[in-house]
Chains A and B, each alone.
Chain A
Amino acid sequence: METYYDPADLAKFGEIGKDAPELAKKFFDYYGSVFEEGDLTEREKALIGLAVAHAIQCPYCIDAYTNNCLEKGSNLSEMTEAVHVVNAIRGGASLVHGVQMRNIAEKLSM
């Protein structure tokens, strides 16, 4: 079955540097630095990465950060809570626009 996404393609991410190699190097150096231990631990950053992966629904990122979270000592319980954080914010972002809806409806309505 042909699909747009092939899990094996994740390992080929570096090939993006075959063209515009300087830009790719800058990106990957920055990327590596972002995920280093800082005031946030590597585990905390991995969980944030997992959450963002679900927010943008990137299957490559979901694959990479599921692996990364487990390798940094996280577990299904923490990771599931992180996905719920995504859901709460995405849902909340839609819901809060309901205030605008109400403003308009109230202006127009008797």
Chain B
Amino acid sequence: MIDEKANIPFSAALNKHGVKLKRLETHTLQVNVGLLCNQACKHCHLDAGPGRTEVMDGGTMDAVVAYAERSGFKAIDITGGAPELVPGIDAFVQRLARLAPRIIFRSNLSALNEQGQAPLIETLVNNRAVITASFPSINAAQTDNQRGRGIFEKSVAVLQELNNRGYGKADSGLELNLVSNPSGAFLPQGQEHTQKRFRKILHEKYGIVFNSLFAFANVPLGRFRDWLEKSGNLESYIEKLAGSFNPCAVDGLMCRSQVSVSWEGHLYDCDFNLAADLPLGGKKIHVSELEKAPALDSAISVADYCYTCTAGAGFT
């Protein structure tokens, strides 16, 4: 896992600051529908990409729907890979949208530009799905270096199309959020500043509007970790993350109120524990075996990539 000689383990950092990481009420279900993606982004913590065959099948989708029905989540968050590319995703979104007041659909944007996605976009509009879209940088070269040639231009085109459908516009009820992350082994700028700058430049240059922007650091897992190792940045990046540990960020961590389910139906505290195959409660449980959401005060599995979510203002 992570080179620990440079830093104290994350669990020890929590103890040192007298902070306990336990569950609050679990109100969000995050569903990772698989690793298939039309992009192979360098910062991907999952190693998702074209040619990956791990996608959620119909039986697992049924089990996830049943779990959501008996648990009463406030939000369901669909992620991947590129969820757009998963067979049956349209119907799955419609089924889940009936089971929670808020449904979030994570998109890399270029996948929505692929042929045949118009009905899915219609489903997202009709079900008032919140689209949370990856948009790392307002600089085309930085974006394309991270996500693939031409991706910046495609992403802009899709954002303009989503705006035309009402997403991001005031009073439309269609929420469009952006997620920005650094294009390398450095920490992100403060979220407020990034949001202000993106809002100004995207509007001035491309006429694009959005609701909120979230700035996240890259997690040292998957393809990003491989890149960190090959580029000689791993040790210094981990030091940066650990050196920016903010105990105040622990309160708002998403793992405290979220449960993640993988394409195979196994449960995790978050998508990063999923990527590292660190299951909920330390042993693999299938979603069909868990009666309800994980209990209040139950323990959360941690590892040293957790320093990403507690760096600076945190990752909440």
Contact = CB atoms under 8 A, between A and B. Distances in A.
A72 B194 CA distance: 8
A41 B193 contact: yes
A77 B186 contact: no
Nearest to A78: B139
Q: Is the interface of A mostly helix, strand, loop or mixed?
A: helix
B189 A72 contact: yes
A70 to B, nearest CB: 5
Interface string B192-209: 011001000000000000
B11 interface: no
A78 B137 CA distance: 13
Interface in B120-152: 137, 139, 141-142
A76 B184 CA distance: 12
A75 B141 contact: yes
A76 B141 CA distance: 9
Interface residues of A, number: 13
Contacts of A36: none
Contact of B189 (A43, A67, A76): A43
Contacts of B141: 75-77
B49 interface: no
Nearest to A11: B239
A77 B197 CA distance: 16
- Give the top 6 A-B pairs by smallest Cβ distance, nearest first: A75-B139, A73-B189, A75-B142, A70-B186, A71-B186, A72-B189
Interface of B: 137, 139, 141-142, 182-184, 186-189, 193-194, 197
12 contacts: A41-B193, A42-B193, A67-B186, A70-B182, A70-B184, A71-B182, A72-B193, A73-B194, A75-B137, A75-B141, A75-B142, A77-B141
